[in-house]
Amino acid sequence: MDKLIFTAMTGAKHTQQRQDTLAQNIAHVSTAGYRAATYAARAIPVPGAGAATRAFALESTTGADLSPGPVQRTGRELDVAVEGKSWLTVQGRDGREAYTRSGSIRVDDNGALLAPGGFPLMGDGGPLVIPPESTISIARDGTISAIPDSGSQSAVTVVGRIKLVTLEPRDAVRGDDGLFRTANGNPAPADERGTLISGALEGSNVNPAEAMVAMIGVSRDFELQMRLLTTAENNARSAAQLLSVTN
């Protein structure tokens, strides 16, 4: 069978995967703290005589674009936008530390601070919990202070400090839950220099215009691979007709 079929088939497969990645990014254009997924493939020459001009498409790298997104002021005290390369630390479903840039924090009925998705927000000493009937404020370095709603307003209690870590692109791995973890699975050390902006949220770093243009280009690439398969089929049919006439 003509190796063109396998070449076009692998090209179409990886083009479809690239299209899925772009569709995921477009769906999260408005998701706070989202990091665009990246996808890359490389060409592998087909071995064998007469196939030097053909190549397979092979997945090369799949990761995320960790560049910062735009910061928008919300005025909500529990919203925080992380600056620089820092990340918020949360507790994943598996009990291990995980990391996110989505800072829309809420308080549950037990006083626990939760990140989007219901993941407990972690401090330097573990999950953060605030006293009942109190209002909190978050300082630039992540320190959380609780002020009682009744009684002396000067009775400020320091609840703890949000654990901020710094992740390098080569060390950050996105999980199925949308959270990031270190490549070796170990907790990242706290970054004492990490800072955040209270009353603001960082938006998605997906550029919608670029994503749409890329989607159009990928769709055309997929159509090209389909035409190559049709060409291979027509060539095979013509060759069979010639052989039948010869016989």
For 106-129, write each residue's pLDDT tens digit: 999 999 999 999 999 999 889 999
Same domain, 77 and 57: no
Average confidence (pLDDT) over 188-213: 93
In which element (H, E) is residue 164 found?
strand 164-166
pLDDT at residue 68 greater than cutoff 70 = yes
Same domain, 119 and 194: yes
If pLDDT is split at 50, 70 and 90, which confidence band does 23 have? very high
If pLDDT is split at 50, 70 and 90, which confidence band does 2 have? low
Same domain, 122 and 13: no
If pLDDT is split at 50, 70 and 90, which confidence band does 143 have? very high
Same domain, 28 and 51: yes
pLDDT at residue 52 greater than cutoff 70 = no
Average confidence (pLDDT) over 169-194: 90
Top pLDDT among 8 and 223 is at 223
Same domain, 104 and 124: yes
Residue with tokens 């902006």: 197
Same domain, 52 and 122: no
Average confidence (pLDDT) over 140-152: 85
Same domain, 219 and 197: no
Average confidence (pLDDT) over 16-24: 88
Number of domains in the chain: 2
Same domain, 173 and 83: yes
Q: Which domain holds residue 41?
A: 3-65+206-246
Same domain, 159 and 61: no
Same domain, 108 and 165: yes
Same domain, 49 and 76: no
Beta strands in the chain (DSSP E): 37-45, 55-64, 71-73, 80-82, 86-91, 97-100, 106-107, 113-115, 119-120, 122-123, 126-127, 134-138, 143-148, 157-161, 164-166, 172-174, 180-182, 196-198, 200-202
Same domain, 78 and 163: yes
pLDDT at residue 140 greater than cutoff 70 = yes
Determine the pLDDT at residue 98.
95
pLDDT at residue 81 greater than cutoff 80 = yes
